[in-house]
Structures are given as C-alpha cells and as structure tokens.
Amino acid sequence: MTTPIPDKMRAWLYTSVPDGLEKAIFLSENVPTPARTPQTLAKNDILVRVEAASLNPVDHKLPEITNALTPRFLTSAATALPKPTDPVPKGAKTPAHDFAGTVVATGSAVDTVRIGERVFGLTPGTLAEYVVTNYNRLATLPSNASFEEGAAAVTTALTTYQSIAPFVKAGSNGAEKVFINGGSGGTGTMAVQIAKALGCHVTATCSTRNIELVKSLGADEVIDYTSQDVVAELTSKGKVFKLVVDNVGNSPANLYKAADNFLVEQGAQFVQVGGGASAADIKILASRSLVPSFLGGGRHKYMFILPKLTHDNIVDVANLIRDDKLKPVIDEVFEWSDAPAAYTKLKTGRARGNIVVRGPPAKA
C-alpha cells in the first residue's frame, strides 16, 4: 500500500542569518509539498522522499557571506524564530543540497527510475521531507550503501573526484604523487580514497587523533599538523608532487607560495576545495587566482573547484561505492529534530568525515 503524499510537508527553513545558520534555521510543518503526481510534476521531474541529507560548509558559508556583504541597513537583526505551525515566512529558504531517498512519483516522460527505487543526488533544499529533482541530478543508490552513506557521498565525492582525476594519470601505480591537505574531513576522506583508487601515492595531513583513520583509507604517508611543520616536511621531499588538493584553506598560511618547493616543475596543479568565509579568506582566494608570480603569487596553476553536476558524474561515484573503492566516512548522524546541532558540529571544522541528518520520522 502506497503512503499518501501530504499537501504540506516538514522542512527546515531560514530567512536571514545574522548570527550564523545554526541559530537561524527553524522547523516548519506548513511548507507546500512540491508537485505530487505525474499530472502536476514536470514531465522530466522526480519526486523523492528524503531519508537522509548530508551537510556541507557551503550550506552556511553562502548565506553567511551574503549577509556579511550586504549593507547593515538592509539586513535583519535576529528575532524570535517562527513556531512549526506558523505560516511560512515570505522568502524562506531550505538549506542543504545532498540527499538520499526513495522515489515516490515521476513525471510522464521519466522511464529511467521506478517508484520505490533508492536514489541519491544533489538538488537545492534537501533538509525537507520531499524534494523535486530530475534524472541528471541523481543516480541509483548501490545496494551496499545505506541512505546515510548515500547522502554523504554526493558533494564531497563529486568535488574531490573532479579535483583529482583530471590532473593525474590513472593507473600510475604510485608514480603520480598527490598531497592532500586535510585528510580527515568530509572532502579529505573522499580525496584520500579517490586518489588511491586512481593509483596515486598519497600524502595527507591530519591531527594526531585522526592518523589511524587516514591511514586506514589508504594514505601512504601522513603528516601530523599538530606536531610537524607541514611545509618543511613537504619541502624536504623535493619537487615530487604532481598535485596539491587543499581542503583547508590558508592553513598553513604559506602552503600555496611554498608549493613551488615541492610540486614538480611541469604539469603540476594546486587545487583548493575548502576555505573560510571571512573577508580575509575571500581576499586570499582572489590574490591566489589573480596575482602573477613576479608580484608574489605562486608559479604553478591554481584552481578553486566548483563541482560539475551530471548524471554520469554521480554514476561514477555510485560505481566506486558499488565496487568497494569508496566508503563514505560519517562523523555523526543527527536525528531530524537536531539539525541546528548538526550545523553547530559542522562549523567546528573538526568532523571526522561527513555530518548527516536523517529525514523526518513517519507521522503517527
């Protein structure tokens, strides 16, 4: 028996973020459910009941940067948050983009997924009971992955795959050396595994408590940033690295400029995935992208990765999971009602892997 799709759904919302997203989101039970039937769905759309959503730094950084750059007189001061049964405020948005769930309705032209099929993907507003998306933004979730693992495998895996695969020769059997700055977070744990799956020799940084985790994911060498000088350790190895993947951003502060001492002379790449959201961080990012070497910039190519999303990209991730070459690492799974606490944990920057929020429980 199919569970009826309600007219109204539950979702976490925010309107402004004067004190951070974790203090701004509120639960609503009055959000209109997206198009619920083949007649109301666009012909290529798919309605998914969200079973799990993974949180990413971009969820809070984008609205917080927007708030910081908006003139003070145009921003709203913190006020009491609406109650779940209150009307939905005008302009409210739902955070998060990564999801795993169950297909509950499809548009008239959809013949690639079935109702009841487990899927995972990327679409705006996934801290909600239901999301509407399309085939290009999802793939079938492998049977050896849970909903929580599927949700944790989208943005982080897509980002890291696209930050590594284009710049190394797959199957080099360790000849291509990759340095991963920050190997224990959501993107870092993916980067270590993907680089190894592509046949690279991997050196990664992490804190003392995460050394065994990072080694277990396949890192050949680990630098403990709490007790070792990362730049000195890398420089001592000579110009051997084909690629740097920086999941941290500006820590150590001189990593990009010093990379000339440990990147190979020809064809090397410095890729930044992570970084802060402050004005100072944005200035650093701009300078790395624009300042030539003779004015103090680095000599090697610098790139900030924004993942490209296609169905085939997500299938690549699904295949790695199916073949046991990629295991999403989850720091903690929060229940639906604890989404604000999940963002608080995410913003510490100390998560070992991904932060996941389960979808809302079934109503009694």
Please check the confidence at residue 78 and state whether its pLDDT lies above 90.
no
As beta bridge partners, residue 185 has: 353
The model's pLDDT over 146-190, given as tens digits with 9 standing for 90+, comes to 999 999 999 999 999 999 999 999 888 889 999 999 999 999 999
Percentage helix, strand, coil for the chain under 3-state DSSP, each rounded to 5: 30, 25, 45
Q: Is residue 259 over pLDDT 60?
A: yes
Give CATH for domain 8-145+328-358.
3.90.180.10
pLDDT at 295 over 50: no
Is the domain spanning 158-304 CATH 3.40.50.300? The answer is no
What is the arithmetic mean of pLDDT over 320-339? 97
Q: Report the distance separating Cα 313 and Cα 90, nearest Å.
A: 35
In the 8-state DSSP scheme, what is residue 261? Answer: G
The pLDDT of residue 70 is 63
Nearest Cα residue to 146 out of 313, 9, 3, 329: 329
Q: Express each pLDDT in 81-108 by its tens digit.
A: 999 999 999 999 999 999 999 999 999 9
- What is the torsion angle, in degrees rounded to the nearest 10, for the CA atoms of residue 111, residue 115, residue 116 and residue 121? 60
Alpha-carbon distance values, 319 to 50, 176, 217, 324, 328 (Å): 22, 23, 18, 9, 13
- CB–CB of 186/351 below 8 Å? yes
60 compared with 213, residue with greater pLDDT: 213
Beta strands 26-32 and 8-13 are antiparallel
Backbone angles phi, psi at 317, to 5 degrees: -65, -45
Residue type, 89: P
> Which pLDDT band, with edges at 50, 70 and 90, does 286 fall under?
very low
Domains of the chain by residue range: 8-145+328-358, 158-304
pTM for the model stands at 0.87
Instruction: pLDDT band for 219, please (50, 70, 90 cuts).
Output: very high
By the 8 A CB rule, do 263 and 179 touch?
Answer: no
**Number of Cβ within a 10 Å radius of residue 321:** 21
* Res 340: pLDDT: 97
pLDDT one-digit tens code per residue, 12-71 = 999 988 888 999 999 999 999 998 777 889 999 999 999 999 999 888 888 877 766 665
For CA atoms 269, 273, 276, 279, give the dihedral sign: positive
**Conformation bin of residue 226: beta by default, left when phi > 0, alpha when psi is -120 to 50:** alpha
pLDDT digits (tens, 9 = 90+) for 345-356: 999 988 999 999
pLDDT at 77: 54
Output the average pLDDT for the chain. Answer: 89
